[in-house]
Amino acid sequence: MSIKTNFQKDINSYPKISVLIPDGGNYDTLKVLRCLGQVPNVTSHVISQQRWPITRLSRYCKKFYYYPEQKNSDFLDSVRRLVIEQKIDVVLPVTMKATEALSRNKKALSDIVKIPPIPKNKIFKIAQDKWAFHCFAESHKFPVPPTILVADGQKIVADQAKLNSIEYPALLKPTTEMGGHGIVKVDSTSEFFCLADNKNVFKDGNKYILQSYISGIDFCLGLICENGRILAYTLQRNLIQSEDYFSYQKVMDFINNESIIKLGTQLASTMAWDGIAFIDFRLDERDKTIKLIEVNPRLGRALLGSLSAGVNFPFIMCLAALGIKYPVAQRENTRYAHPSAYVHMLKYHLLGKQNPLKLGWHESGWRFLINDPLPDVVEAIKHLNKIDIHIWKKKKN
């Protein structure tokens, strides 16, 4: 394969690139496929431990390979064999598990295939753990909310004095969960001890932190780096606070904020970060200061929003792996809503209820879904079947 290193403005003029995604079993991988599918000269191959994941149904999945649960050596052999057989140019990890596996095996694969910038194992583990990341950020003088380690499984490790030192309300967070899973709002020390008696809250194998809740606006800085240097970024602001306010942003506006970008640049440099990261910030409504919350070291849920703003993160990762130079800039004042959020807004409009925000369908993920409908159609049918079974069981009981 001949790769040109000079930048070409026309996306059609990029060389043909074959990409292997080694962890193709979830919805995030589908978003990666849809991003790569916008580039005519990219073909995507997918490996999955599931026989029929929704990614297999995507029009952007050229070839699919089913491999059940494997040891690391088997995984490595499978990737090597497919790289050689299918003449793969780039192996692109999506999940943190695959990123970690490639980080361990990068040297063993680098002789036959290109791998995008991925974080070194030590710093990657820090980014994966909310408590480790908080300690790292605090030690380097980044502005973070007051946070304490409170539990290791069902064992409470924080004393009364530490619990009283936190400003309430506070958020109880499992240190290694993602997407807002397992977060509980706590209004007082006494409420925390009530939760401590609930065995459904604290799970063995998980550690938990208690972090003062910052009332304000959510921002997320998505970036791809090479040795701490930012190659491309997008910055999004949350436009509608959902009822589940621990979850990811569902309606967003891509903007510029020099203070947040400066903090993100400093953090990336301090961590000597390689690869993709989505950094969560909060604008404190009390004093208008920015607080650093956490880092998600993976291709996140806002990929199609970033694509709408002009930054195709999966494609940029492939270009970075191949050493192709490219200028890229975010389009500001671009709004994006996930398909489900757009349907919810549309429902409010049809019912005659006041809608705080109006977006056109072209500002939602529906345009990507319509161009690649089968995965979502099948997923919707599965969801309806689960609802029917649930209703049937309730009636039977």
Give domain status of residue 388, yes or no.
no
Residues 170 and 226 in one domain: no
Q: What is the pLDDT of residue 262?
A: 97
- CB count in 10 Å sphere of residue 319: 23
Give domain status of residue 41, yes or no.
yes
Tens digit of each residue's pLDDT (9 = 90 or more) over 242-267: 555 566 678 999 999 999 999 999 99
Question: Are residues 374 and 59 in contact, defined by beta-carbon separation less than 8 angstroms?
Answer: yes
Task: Give Cα 176 distance to the centre of its chain.
Answer: 14
Bridge partner list, 337: 251, 364
Query: Which class for 276: exposed (0-12), middle (13-18), buried (19 or more C-beta within 10 A)?
Result: buried
Give domain status of residue 227, yes or no.
yes
Residues 250 and 191 in one domain: no
Question: Are residues 363 and 336 in contact, defined by beta-carbon separation less than 8 angstroms?
Answer: yes
Residues 352 and 283 in one domain: yes
Domain range for residue 238? Answer: 216-371
Residues 114 and 261 in one domain: no
Provide block-wise average pLDDT over 10 residues at a time, the chain (397 residues).
38 84 89 95 94 94 87 80 96 91 87 94 94 98 96 90 92 88 90 83 89 93 95 91 65 94 97 96 93 91 92 95 86 89 76 72 90 92 63 47
Residues 230 and 187 in one domain: no
Residues 252 and 363 in one domain: yes
Domain boundary among the residues 212, 235, 265 is at 212
Q: Which of 114, 52, 122, 120 is nearest to 79 (CA)?
A: 114
Residues 197 and 250 in one domain: no
Tens digit of each residue's pLDDT (9 = 90 or more) over 49-97: 899 999 999 999 999 999 887 666 777 888 999 999 999 999 999 998 8
Residues 261 and 351 in one domain: yes
Backbone angles phi, psi at 110, to 5 degrees: -65, -15
Task: Give Cα 251 distance to the centre of its chain.
Answer: 15
Give domain status of residue 301, yes or no.
yes
Give domain status of residue 59, yes or no.
yes
Question: Are residues 119 and 99 in contact, defined by beta-carbon separation less than 8 angstroms?
Answer: yes
- Total count of domains within the chain: 3
d(CA 104, CA 97): 11
Give domain status of residue 129, yes or no.
no
Q: What is the pLDDT of residue 249?
A: 79
Residues 340 and 224 in one domain: yes
Q: What is the pLDDT of residue 8?
A: 39
Residues 72 and 181 in one domain: no
Task: Find out whether the peptide bond into 339 is cis, omega within 30 degrees of 0.
Answer: no
Residues 270 and 301 in one domain: yes
CATH (domain of 228): 3.30.470.20
Residues 355 and 267 in one domain: yes
